[in-house]
Amino acid sequence: MKKILLAIVALVGAQSVDAQNIRSFKEHLGAPVRIDSLSVVNQTVTVREVGDAAQIVAQANQHSSATVSGYRIMIFMSNSQTARNDALAARDTFAATFPAQRCYITYENPYFKVAVGNYTTQEEALVLLERIKPSFPKAFIMRENIPIMELSE
C-alpha cells in the first residue's frame, strides 16, 4: 500500500492535484501501448483511488518538507582541510560516471558528505551500491529522510 502511494506521489510530482490532473493521469494509464513501430497493444488498466490518496498527494504538494524514510549511498565523507574540494571532486566523478543519478553534497560540522540516490527500499540502493563500488570502494548504504518531491525527480 505504501509503495502504491509513493508511486502515485512520484508520478504526480510537482503538479497541482485537482480533478482534471487525476482524470488525465488515469486516462494516460489506460492509453494503448506501442510495442514497436507496427503494433499497438490495447490493455485495460483500471485505476482505483484508495481511501484518501488524492488528499494525501495534495497535502504532500502543499508541504514540500514532507519526507519518507528511505536510503541513499554515502560515497564520500571527510573532515580534512581539503574536504570541500575533495567532496566536489567526488561529486564530479560520480556525475560523469552515473549522470542519471541524483547527487547531494552536505556539510554537517565538521564533515563534508556526498550522498547519491533516492531509494525507498534497501534492495534498490544495494543495486546501485554494487555498480559504484569499483569507483568508490568505501561507499555504504545509509538511512535518510528523503523529501517526497525528490522521489519524483
Residues 33, 105 share a domain? no
> How far apart, in whole angstroms, are the C-alpha atoms of residue 94 and residue 88?
10
Q: Do 70 and 122 form a contact (C-beta atoms < 8 A)?
A: no
* 8 band by pLDDT with thresholds 50, 70 and 90: low
Residues 81, 53 share a domain? no
* 148 band by pLDDT with thresholds 50, 70 and 90: confident
The answer to pTM > 0.85 is: no
Residue 17, amino acid: V
In the numeric block, the cell 508520478 is attached to 11
Predicted pLDDT of residue 19 = 46
Residues 142, 92 share a domain? yes
Residues 74, 44 share a domain? no
* 34 band by pLDDT with thresholds 50, 70 and 90: low
Q: Does position 18 have pLDDT exceeding 70, yes or no?
A: no
Domain end marker among 46, 62, 78: 62
> How far apart, in whole angstroms, are the C-alpha atoms of residue 92 and residue 84?
12
Domain coverage including residue 111: 67-151
Mean pLDDT on 114-119 = 95
Residues 95, 25 share a domain? no
Residues 116, 47 share a domain? no
Report how many domains make up the chain: 2
Predicted pLDDT of residue 92 = 96
Predicted pLDDT of residue 22 = 62
Residue 103 forms beta bridges with which residues?
A: 116
Domain end marker among 30, 62, 94: 62
> How far apart, in whole angstroms, are the C-alpha atoms of residue 113 and residue 104?
8
Domain end marker among 43, 62, 81: 62
Residues 125, 55 share a domain? no
Top pLDDT among 24 and 37 is at 24
Q: What is the pLDDT of residues 70-98, one digit of tens each?
A: 999 999 999 999 999 999 999 999 999 99
Looking up residue 86, the CATH number of its domain turns out to be 3.30.70.1070
